[in-house]
Amino acid sequence: MRSVLVGLFLLLSFQGAHGQEIPGWLAEVLRQAEPDELAYFVGASPDCSITEEEIETIVKGVFVRSRIKPLGGYEYLSKDVYLNVALQCLPIDNNNPIYLIDVKFGKASGPAFILYERSFGSFGINTDKTIKQSIKSGAEAAITAYLQANFDLGD
């Protein structure tokens, strides 16, 4: 389990160096006929002290502040694109946990799920308060990309 998390951390660290500009292929994926609403899915590993309900509250708050109607429940199964926010944790004795936040856009395609390559997540070792702030920052970065793809925000 630890080697899997370390591998994921390394993959995410390379993705973080891409900068703020979203690739053209992702902008195409994110363009929606009804951009004022977006489905989401949240998940948290059982080793995390932060619950799925807490993550959902953070994500919905980001959506509402961005004037996007959050579509929860199983709505993500029927939409062309949804935001996937997943938290994995590795507890460390007498210390803060190692965490991995994976924030990606995805699509349910029949029995399979596609998660697009570009991650807006992060990882580290820190307190629950910092992990929640990192979830919020990742969701905000993803929603910014979504807004840029769907609305003319100017330069």
Predicted confidence at residue 128, as pLDDT, reads: 95
Judged against a pLDDT cut of 90, whether residue 5 lies above it is answered with: no
Judged against a pLDDT cut of 80, whether residue 61 lies above it is answered with: yes
Predicted confidence at residue 145, as pLDDT, reads: 95
Question: Average pLDDT, whole number, for the chain?
Answer: 88
Judged against a pLDDT cut of 70, whether residue 2 lies above it is answered with: no
Unique residue bearing structure tokens 């053209």: 24
pTM score of the predicted model: 0.84
| CB-based contact 117:84 (threshold 8 Å) | no
pLDDT band with cut points at 50, 70 and 90 for residue 154: low
Separation between Cα atoms, residue 24 and residue 18, nearest integer Å: 13
Tokens of 102: 């994976």
Give strand pairing partners of 115. 106
